[in-house]
Amino acid sequence: MTSEPTVKTSSGTHPDLPKSLHFVGIGGIGMSGLAQMFRDLGCTVTGSDRALGHPENERIFAALRKCGAKLCPQDGSVYADGYAPDAIVYSTAIEEDNPDFRCAPPGTRRLHRSEALSLGIGALRGRFTIAVTGTCGKTTVSAWLADALDRLGGDPGMLSGGYVKRFREDGAPGNYRGGFGRDFVIEADESDKSLLNYVPDAALILNIGTDHYSREELAEVFLKFAGSARSCVVMELAAFQEIGPKRFPSGKMILLFSGDPDAPVSCAGRPVLRLDSYRVADGSAWCAFNGLPEIRLPMPGRHNALNALAVHTVLTSRGYDSMDALKAVSEFSGVARRFDRAGVMANGALVIDDYAHNVEKLASCIGAAQELAPEGRVVTVFQPHGFAPLRFMREALAKALPSILRPADQFIFLPVYYAGGTASFSPTSAEVAATCREAAGSYAASILDFEDRQECERYLKTVTKRGDVVIVAGARDESLSIWAKSLTKYA
């Protein structure tokens, strides 16, 4: 298949877009990508961030300055010289009393980031938008899909919640790519239901889990999202069945995929593409699906075999040759902080840096690490990414840990990452660790908590050895990657 070329930008700002936008929290992974996109579309972009000046965030701030964004402290000073942006872009995490809201010129328009993205996508005339969502895996899969499309000569556009390694060049952080091809891949966030603001051409729904609200509520959100797709929906079989096959319009084109080799070949008249096999040999993971030849996966974990199947399904639905698509899928370069090898400690233990921050993501990450340490232990160091998310996952994590951990494995809590703003400061990591120990039975001694990273580091150097895997897990805090690297002596 040859991708039809298109023009990613117009001359000057598109008439449907605000000419100038101010991004509150511009250093965030989603907001920074969106800011790059609007600069690419010809808009004037300013932005503020609480973490401006923090060395662990300098790479993303440098990239934003390079693309032409003007950065400033988050204190309302952006308006000091009479600057009045056409719109302020914000996320759900921004409090109403934020200085950039309070000091804004009266009547300044506000755009939630999902509304801004909808405007930006609308300005990309003639492009085929593919929106990827799910409780787990959407960052990896959106990146994987864009990476594969590029390898196939599609020159895609992309807006992802992760830094895609293939696109980290010439100072670009890798979470946005303009491209000139027909396809534009976006990661659609279900956490605040903002994905319902999009009307994609194709929707990819990876799974239904527990993160920000109940499975039942999430099923309703995904049903609406699937209904909005103009062309087709690619969906995990289990999610399709949980939502209810009869609830989908009969005329909607739906392709299903499943990790179960014994899954039916069709469900409610929709074809089901199946994972045929998954195995680990000599430190590498291998899989086969749809009767195709076996491929070596870029990362371990059965969940990544299912991700590969999902990406391949989308590629073939777009008209790419099945074997060409298979080769492109197998060559994925990866995403920063998605099972990233940080290095090896002086004692021989392997350190993995990962963004895992909910129960399902932690389970998948730990499971993949266990494959790399069949005779060793996996020690997971988890820094919760906020008090509210930790409160939400408290009971689910306590219930899940005994089934996730092996007898020798350990799970360590670090203090909650606090980025500022309104918070109840409850529960603490120590309190949740105690809840988990109470529910863990014979595994109680495997669940620990430390007051700081220094104490944790001393412990890790004492108890781990060659053949073990240490996972440093948590979202939002870029310094986690720096710390994970500092634990290591060898690449």
Please give the residue that has the higher pLDDT: either 75 or 212: 75
Which residues are paired to 236 by β-bridges? 257
CATH code of the region 125-330:
3.40.1190.10
Task: State the CATH architecture for 20-116.
Answer: 3-Layer(aba) Sandwich (3.40)
Extract the tokens encoding 30: 């989603």
Once rounded to an integer, what is the mean pLDDT over residues 96-119? 94
Residue 450 has pLDDT above 90, yes or no: yes
Residue 272: pLDDT band with limits 50, 70, 90? very high
Once rounded to an integer, what is the mean pLDDT over residues 442-470? 97
CATH code of the region 340-486:
3.90.190.20
- H helix and E strand count, the chain: 14, 22
Measured CA distances, 361 to 4, 211, 336, 365 (Å): 36, 10, 15, 6
Q: Where are the beta strands (DSSP E) in 290-330?
A: 295-296
Once rounded to an integer, what is the mean pLDDT over residues 384-400? 94
Cα of first residue to Cα of last residue in the chain, in angstroms, is 39
Extract the tokens encoding 110: 């506000």
28-81: per-residue pLDDT in tens?
Answer: 999 999 999 999 999 999 999 999 988 888 999 999 999 999 999 999 999 999
Token look-up 């032409």 returns: 68
Residue 4 has pLDDT above 80, yes or no: no
Quote the CA–CA distance of 347 and 57 in Å, as a whole number.
30
What's the predicted TM-score (pTM) here? 0.90
What is the bridge-based pairing of β-strands 20-24 and 44-48?
A: parallel
Q: What is the mean pLDDT of the chain?
A: 93
Residue 10 has pLDDT above 60, yes or no: no
Q: What residue spans define the domains of the chain?
A: 20-116, 125-330, 340-486
Q: Is 126 left (phi over 0), alpha (psi -120 to 50) or beta?
A: left
Query: Which range among 12-26, 208-222, 322-336, 397-411 shows the weakest confidence by mean pLDDT?
Result: 208-222
